[in-house]
Amino acid sequence: MTRTDLPSSWDERTTLTTFLDYARATVRAKCEGITEEAARTAPLPGSPLMTVAGLVSHVHWVEYSWFQVIFLGEEDAGPWTEEEPDREFTIALDLPIAQLLDEYDAQSERYRALVAATDLDALSQRSMRRNGAPVTLRWILFHLVEEIARHNGHLDVVRELVDGTTGV
């Protein structure tokens, strides 16, 4: 997939999905050439979970939670537990970065098909925890663009601190 933020047409769905795919592709681009050791290094003393691998795992599980648990209403089979609510960050330390990225790409492909076949005004099967109301698929897409873009900023900083790689 080509990494671009220019949609092929200017309708809302294409614009939203283009920006989401651009944010997803940026996750992969930020990881290009990273070593396994660097992918597991937490350079911020106050944020021991903040690793490149942990961030890739986090965006994967964030999308899972929004699409499968909130939107589709499936049972939550995420890695988090009461004892370890941020477990998606720690399980990533035991997996190769290429596997994390490939699993994220495969999941993204499934969600692209879901989004293509679903009306943007369709309501989620489950409500948001914050206000107890369902959300539209449109809102989920906007939210994921925002969240993944924010975590791409974290990836930028962590990557520069662990091995000096900047840009992308």
CB 75 within 8 A of CB 64: no
pLDDT along the chain (168 residues), means of 10: 69 95 97 98 95 98 97 96 95 97 98 98 91 94 97 97 90
CA–CA distance, 2 with 153 (Å, rounded to integer): 20
DSSP string, 104-128: HHHHHHHHHHHHHTS-TTPBPSS--
What does pTM read for this prediction? 0.93
In the prediction, which pLDDT does 131 show? 79
What does the domain layout of the chain look like in residue ranges?
Answer: 12-163
Give the pLDDT confidence score for residue 39 in this predicted structure.
Answer: 98
Under a CB-based contact definition with an 8 Å cutoff, are residues 93 and 40 in contact?
yes
Q: Which CATH superfamily is domain 12-163 in?
A: dinb family like domain (1.20.120.450)
